[in-house]
Structure 1
Amino acid sequence: MRPNEWKWRYAILFCDCTFVFGAYYYVDLPSSLQVDFVSGEAMSCNANYSMLTSACCDTCLGLGPERYSLLYAFLFWTSAILSLLSGWVVDRIGNRVSAIAFIILTSVGCNLFALAVTPPFRNTSVMFPLMVTGRMLLGFTNGPLRIVQDRLVSYWFGGDSFVAISFITLTRRGGTFLNFLITANLSVHFSFTWAIWFGATLCSSGIIIASVMVLLDVHGVKKLDAESQQPSRRAINITEITNIPKTFWIHVAMISFETSAFTSFVAYGPEYIQLRYGYTKVLASYVIGATYIGPVFLGPFVALTLKKIDCNGLVATGITILCVPAYLLLAYCLTIPPVVITLLLGIIYSFDVIIMWKVTIDMIPQAVFGTAAGVAIFVSRLLLGITNFVVGAIVENTRQYNHQKDIAAYQNALLCLTALSVFSVSCGIFLNVLDIRNGDGVNKRFAKNTDTDVTDTTELIANDKLNKEYKCIASNGT
């Protein structure tokens, strides 16, 4: 029996989707309570500020924009380094041990972060170091655990991975969407501390789900025939990485620029929405949370649409172009409701993230999937960390706790995000020119149409070209 013939693989997919749900809930938790993290006692709602007219805080931690940006920068930089190393580790020790080990470390990070904002550690010299330590451990979510998830999809759904990827995306962003939907409400109706600990508990529940997933995977592999057994663990030749088509790495750069802009907007958006439109903390959280409505509710439909079009590079480039006017409209146009623009950004993100992992699964052989995906995530997370740090510096250096000047500071940050989107589109144009010329498989419809002077077996040869190259390299290295 082959992997795609085992009916219980959908149970593995369910566990693969849900065991990181709580971790993704926690990644953007500071964003849903941004004003409480950034502002000091001078901006307390109990002072001279009204939640209806200005950005004020109930529990004021007083980090400021720069230290707040470090919460995201350290998370993404740690994720980048861990992805580079853990991709190789996952290829060596396998999915099962990696899933259990990484989700435990992630849960420890969530609980440390929650401990940091709990009395008696709150507003002490210990608070920020504990926060940073927790966020660094949470970095296992944004890189290593993603590699484990996609490696499992590559193995059990390798032949038709679009829908599986869409459900992975749905639950990843479902966790983030739930955070923006309920965290601010929990803080208002219960307490800031309870809101933080709820997320930590949700993250820790992933350990149980990961254990069930491992048991299912062990049982499933025993049912497979010898040819379909998971590949043996062997030393990886550097040539196997360099032999991956250049179009894949250009595609990684394109998606990295766009996700850096998107993630930075999500991290800093709530306070800007409060300042610019006069929304409450809860309403601003809803507006930013709308960016994840697309990935949560449209993921499977996006996957089916992409499968029908079969031109991933052209679609990604075309839809990313829309980000350029979107950020400019958020900065300078008050007539359009912000939720309309955040919904558009969410739809764009849905296409980009599904395309990224579909291309990754299609172009990277199973034997080196973890290592190559780790390199790709390293590049993406490194740029994410730099972008968050730069945006934080822009806001910190130009704001003066004056309403109009604070808005101007965020407008400068949105111009930075616009520039990143322009870089992304430029990479996309270059990617499509190379792919259509070389037939690397990012735009498969064009690759199929260009192979005309061939025999009946050509399609099979084209689809298996990369695997043959890797087998040849492996045999030469032994």
Structure 2
Amino acid sequence: MPSATKGYYRFLILTFNSLALVGCYYCYDIPSTIQGILQAPLSCNESNITECTEGFGLNSVQYNQLYAISSFSCGVSVLIAGYLVDRCGNVVGLIMFSVFAVIGTLIFAISALFKGALLMFPGMLIGRLFFGSAYGSTSVIANRMTAFWFKDKEIALAFGFVISSWRAAGCLNFFLSKSFANDFGVIWTLWFGTLLVCISFLAAIVSSALEIHGKKQLPIIDYKLVTFRLLDVVKLSPLYWLTSASLALNFSIIYAFIADSSEFIRIKYNYAADSTAPSYYTGTVYLVATFLSPIIGMLIDQIGRRCLLGVFSSIGSILVFCMFAFTHFHPLIGTILLGIIVGITGTALWSCLPLVVPEAILGTAMGVSTCIVMLSISSCNMIVGEILQDQEQNEKRWKLVMIFLLGLSVVYLIINILTYIIDIKKGGVLNTTKKKTKKSRPSSETQDALFTNTENEGIPLIH
């Protein structure tokens, strides 16, 4: 095994850490790429539409429930996952939730075999329930591992690399799954996704082995001995809560759009039901973010300015949904701009959390943040489903969805401006570079004293 003291070791862990979630990020948006098939009637005899594609007969509410239930289960499980890894370590959580991901995708793929039966949709929901619990939890653990191995180093670049690999998986789904489903059928498409999740499980095992081997060679503070309560998280600084709110609004806007965007683009821009162009345009969001995230990460490590980037991204979000709601510009313009926004905000905002949260409770804090994000996404998916209920073919309904996302973008801008103002008053901790962070971080002995507490004191928190 290589030496953990070498610089390349952390990048080796980063590589397998990223691969451990590729399957999850590929499978998360599979329903979006095959939305038309999922919502098509079970039999063309049941439809009055001239050009009919036989599908699974889901209505708009049922379809959005597939996203809502995975977001909800994710929001609940990440609280457990964050606390678990702070107490038991990353390896236990990563392996356990990777197994849940395999179980969830298996159940979803098997349920599709019962097309038209009463068991089909409940089985799909159960599969997405298991999958959602793994999707967010493994993300929290991967982010915690990244923060540990890259603290005081290229932390924004590392987060950018991780996010880039995950977006690449989502991009692969949008560019591949619809064509694959047209050629081989939905069932084989779902089994291919399950195979990728199994491969990611193997990567999680390798990442865990590297983590165990590496930490044996490094002097590490044993935070398992620190006494803290889950409620201690409420004592975290306002910057932590504003960053969490900003993450929640950003991902709610993006994911709510991604979930229905293929069908939105098909209807508004008059594409055929079997056209792959809407999925390709949606996949452009992830494609742009894939290449942009590492670049943004390197830039942030050198110049900081995380809050300012958040303000610019929220302004861009407002422009995008104004375009989709009130104009007929080519959809590729909007999806490219959204890809730039995703590339900026994912890297900038997630890398803020290790700067305002003590390492001893970083897993718990990231779990709470992810919980807020996923519950927000779940709520948005349900609202979008209600707006489109029984009238998904009506372009006016889609316009209402875009206006709803536009309203969220305005709130997102207000939160980012408020974060920027407070951060300036606090000394600009979120706008710092890696060099300034390293100079200002206390030594290991100081941190050890900082995180040692009594039962009644609670854990000292960074403000």
The alignment's TM-score, normalised by the length of structure 1, stands at 0.88
Q: Which residue of 1 aligns with 2:245?
A: 253
- Aligned with 1:411 (options 379, 396, 399): 399
Q: Following superposition of structure 1 onto structure 2, how do residues 432-443 of structure 1 map, counting pairs within 5 Å? A: 432-439=420-427, 441-443=429-431
User: Post-superposition shift, 1:467?
Assistant: 10
User: Post-superposition shift, 1:156?
Assistant: 1.1
- Aligned with 2:264 (options 264, 272, 281): 272
Q: Which residue of 1 aligns with 2:12?
A: 11
CA 1:166 to 1:434, structure 2 compared with 1: closer, same or farther past 3 Å?
same
- Aligned with 1:474 (options 445, 452, 455): 452
Letter in 1 for 2:131: L
CA distance in 2, matches of 1:477, 1:266: 46
Q: Which residue of 1 aligns with 2:74?
A: 79
Letter in 2 for 1:330: F
Q: Which residue of 2 aligns with 1:425?
A: 413
Letter in 2 for 1:21: V
CA offsets 1:324-347 (integer angstroms, 9 cap, x no match): 12112112211x210111010011
Superposed CA RMSD in Å reads 2.6
Q: Which residue of 1 aligns with 2:161?
A: 167
Q: Is 2:349 the partner of 1:356?
A: yes
CA 1:45 to 1:314, structure 2 compared with 1: closer, same or farther past 3 Å?
farther
CA 1:21 to 1:467, structure 2 compared with 1: closer, same or farther past 3 Å?
farther
Q: Which moved more, 1:468-477 or 1:275-284?
A: 468-477
Q: Which moved more, 1:417-426 or 1:59-68?
A: 59-68
Identity of aligned residues (%): 25
CA offsets 1:166-225 (integer angstroms, 9 cap, x no match): 11101111111110010001111111211111111111222211111122222222222x
- Aligned with 1:90 (options 63, 85, 92): 85
Q: Which moved more, 1:33-42 or 1:251-260?
A: 33-42
Letter in 1 for 2:384: V
Q: Which moved more, 1:339-348 or 1:466-475?
A: 466-475
CA 1:440 to 1:259, structure 2 compared with 1: closer, same or farther past 3 Å?
same
Contact 1:18 1:171 in 2 (8 A): yes
Q: Following superposition of structure 1 onto structure 2, how do residues 173-184 of structure 1 map, counting pairs within 5 Å? A: 173-184=167-178
CA offsets 1:211-244 (integer angstroms, 9 cap, x no match): 11122222222222xx336644543245752342
- Aligned with 1:338 (options 331, 338, 349): 331
Aligned-partner SS, 1:236:
coil
User: Post-superposition shift, 1:279?
Assistant: 2.2
Q: Which residue of 1 aligns with 2:21?
A: 20
Contact 2:239 2:423 in 1 (8 A): yes
- Aligned with 1:69 (options 56, 61, 64): 64
Q: Which residue of 1 aligns with 2:461?
A: none
Letter in 1 for 2:397: A
CA 1:43 to 1:295, structure 2 compared with 1: closer, same or farther past 3 Å?
farther
- Aligned with 2:299 (options 300, 305, 308): 305
CA offsets 1:27-62 (integer angstroms, 9 cap, x no match): 000000011112324779997444xxxxx53x4111
CA distance in 2, matches of 1:438, 1:473: 22
CA 1:285 to 1:49, structure 2 compared with 1: closer, same or farther past 3 Å?
farther
Contact 1:38 1:62 in 2 (8 A): yes
Letter in 1 for 2:37: D
Contact 2:221 2:444 in 1 (8 A): no
- Aligned with 1:228 (options 220, 225, 243): 220
CA distance in 2, matches of 1:362, 1:184: 40
Unaligned runs of at least 5 residues, structure 1: 51-55, 449-458
Q: Which residue of 2 aligns with 1:38?
A: 39
Q: Which residue of 2 aligns with 1:453?
A: none
CA distance in 2, matches of 1:333, 1:233: 58
CA 1:188 to 1:47, structure 2 compared with 1: closer, same or farther past 3 Å?
farther
Letter in 2 for 1:269: S
Q: Which residue of 1 aligns with 2:30?
A: 29
CA distance in 1, matches of 2:171, 2:222: 34
CA distance in 2, matches of 1:30, 1:351: 26
Contact 1:252 1:380 in 2 (8 A): yes
CA offsets 1:234-263 (integer angstroms, 9 cap, x no match): 432457523422112112112211210110
Letter in 2 for 1:277: Y
User: Post-superposition shift, 1:466?
Assistant: 12
Letter in 2 for 1:79: C
Q: Following superposition of structure 1 onto structure 2, how do residues 107-122 of structure 1 map, counting pairs within 5 Å? A: 107-118=102-113, 121-122=114-115
User: Post-superposition shift, 1:423?
Assistant: 0.6
CA distance in 2, matches of 1:463, 1:7: 23
Letter in 1 for 2:364: T
CA 1:287 to 1:475, structure 2 compared with 1: closer, same or farther past 3 Å?
same
Q: Which residue of 2 aligns with 1:318?
A: 312
CA distance in 2, matches of 1:466, 1:316: 32
CA 1:45 to 1:32, structure 2 compared with 1: closer, same or farther past 3 Å?
farther
The alignment's TM-score, normalised by the length of structure 2, stands at 0.91
CA distance in 2, matches of 1:9, 1:298: 22
Contact 1:3 1:157 in 2 (8 A): no
Q: Which residue of 1 aligns with 2:201?
A: 207
Q: Which moved more, 1:273-282 or 1:384-393?
A: 273-282
Letter in 1 for 2:442: D
Aligned-partner SS, 2:115:
coil
Aligned-partner SS, 2:276:
helix
CA distance in 2, matches of 1:142, 1:467: 36
Q: Which moved more, 1:199-208 or 1:100-109?
A: 199-208
CA distance in 1, matches of 2:399, 2:45: 24
CA distance in 1, matches of 2:444, 2:310: 23
CA offsets 1:119-150 (integer angstroms, 9 cap, x no match): xx111110111101110111134321011101
CA 1:272 to 1:239, structure 2 compared with 1: closer, same or farther past 3 Å?
closer
